Structure 1
Amino acid sequence: MIIVGWLIALDHNTVFWVQNNLVNSMITPFMKNLSWLGNTGRIWILLGVILLCIRKYRRTGIAVFIALLFSLIIGDDLLKHTVMRSRPCIDYPWVSLHLHMPATNNYSFPSAHAFSSFAAASAMIKGIRSRWVLLTIVLASGIAFSRVYLFMHYPSDVLAGAFLGIASGVAAWYLSGKLFLCYKKVN
């Protein structure tokens, strides 16, 4: 029980450290835009569609969509409604927000932005293996961090989302390979 209390305190202290030391009017518009890119996985859906249109990367595009589906089912449908952790902006309503206040039943754990971003990025990393790999990691990390910066998630929400996303992206890559093998056998 002491460890759980210590972890919760670390989580709260870290989110407030970010608020007190990193949030400023020059960075906030950039963070809002990063967060917007992650809303509903929009940037990852766009990249997945582009990959589907390129024959060489079609399997990667399929893996991205499978990974996003895992993120939706595991993160949004299952874990958020099982854990039901409130967001920092709900727990501490006096902290000024740069985004609209979410509903109290819009739960925090795990971060869907982090989950979907790392899921899609991991699927892409497995399939692309080029100079774009670093860009996907930086983009996923930026989107995930923006959620702590904007006081929408605790750091543990983001870390859990990232770890679950990586696992889902890798699983999606291997599942897309199985689908491709089945497709080749049929044709």
Structure 2
Amino acid sequence: MTSTGEVDQRAKGKLAGPLLWLATASVGVVAGVFYAFAISVMPGLAKTDDKAFIDSMQNINRSIENGAFGSAFLGSFIFTGAAAIIENRMGRRAAARWIIASLLLYVVGVAITMGINIPLNQKLEAAGAPANIADLAAVRAAFEDPWNSAHLARTVACVLALGCLGRALWLHGRAERADGLLPR
């Protein structure tokens, strides 16, 4: 006969792994998008003229506002927070600490996005169509370097958040094996 506590612990155990994997996957998607921008998209756009740069960034900013990216962006926060709560409630403090570290780093990335990148995107959009902008170079200058600096910071934060989740996954697996839930 199993007690209610054992059943509750077993239910949490079945939820902990999938939540941690979802957190890792969603943070990985966001970190990957940011990383790809940092190493390919922005360096490629840096080689274009002012009109092409502004037109491309306006189109990219409109395109990134979609359900797929939005789900990963929001899901990262939700899954990581839920995984931290479950691991902590299961007494897996080491894994929970790494998940919390990931969540804090991810929040830094979100704060940079909301506080710097999105306002710059909105300002660039408000400048209007590139064909109607009188001083393309000034609009680009006001956007490009500040956006890239903030983008680099949020990329680093999200990649570090992903690394923390990798460590949490390893600790989670060790705890699962110790609890007899996974083969040794």
Give the TM bin, normalised by the shorter chain: 0.3 to 0.5
TM-score w.r.t. the length of structure 1 is 0.35
TM-score w.r.t. the length of structure 2 is 0.36
Which structure has more helix as a fraction of its residues?
2
